[in-house]
Homo-oligomer: A and B are copies of this chain.
Amino acid sequence: MTGVQERATSEGTRRPTRQRAAVAAVLADTDEFRSAQELHALLREGGDKVGLATVYRNLQAMAADGEIDMLRTDEGEAVYRACSTGHHHHLVCRVCGRTVEVEGPTVEAWATRVSAEHGFTEVRHTLEIFGTCATCSR
């Protein structure tokens, strides 16, 4: 689950603010992964005044709390998205950005087994699939 989500650490210690709500709201409105800067721009368009640094801070906090998912593009840029709860992975269309959340006992088991075989503990994994969705490939 590394990189894609984190365990809910110190959760309740967070203060509700207008900015945080705005970030959560814009995330709830989009179903594609978005970068911090893109989200910041969307907020401005929507009339919400939120500092860029604040957007970064909130996204990171939310991701750390497992409220949203974060993954890195091929270029290394962090992108965020509101996701269903629980451990899962993503099937992302590299053309339009459409994302499907996928889950698989198969891979989870495989990852666990392989790690154990090599004596690794406290393992987390990242697994993302990129391709062309049906719509875009037509």
Q: List residues of chain A with CB under 8 Å of any chain B CB.
A: 2-3, 72, 74, 76-78, 91, 93, 100, 102, 104, 106-107, 110-111, 114-115, 118-134, 137
User: Is A100 in contact with B126, judged by CB distance below 8 angstroms?
Assistant: no
Residues of B within 8 A of A72 (CB): 72, 76
Q: Knowing A114-B102, A122-B137, A127-B126 touch, does A77 contact B76 (C-beta < 8 A)? A: yes
Residue of B nearest to A110 (CB): B106
Residue of B nearest to A116 (CB): B131
User: Is A115 in contact with B137, judged by CB distance below 8 angstroms?
Assistant: no
Residue of B nearest to A103 (CB): B114
Q: How many whole Å from A125's CB to the nearest CB in chain B?
A: 4
Q: Knowing A74-B3, A78-B76, A126-B126 touch, does A133 contact B110 (C-beta < 8 A)? A: no
A-B contact pairs, 15 of them (CB 8 A): A2-B74, A3-B74, A76-B76, A76-B77, A104-B114, A118-B134, A120-B133, A120-B134, A120-B137, A121-B134, A123-B130, A124-B129, A125-B130, A126-B127, A127-B127
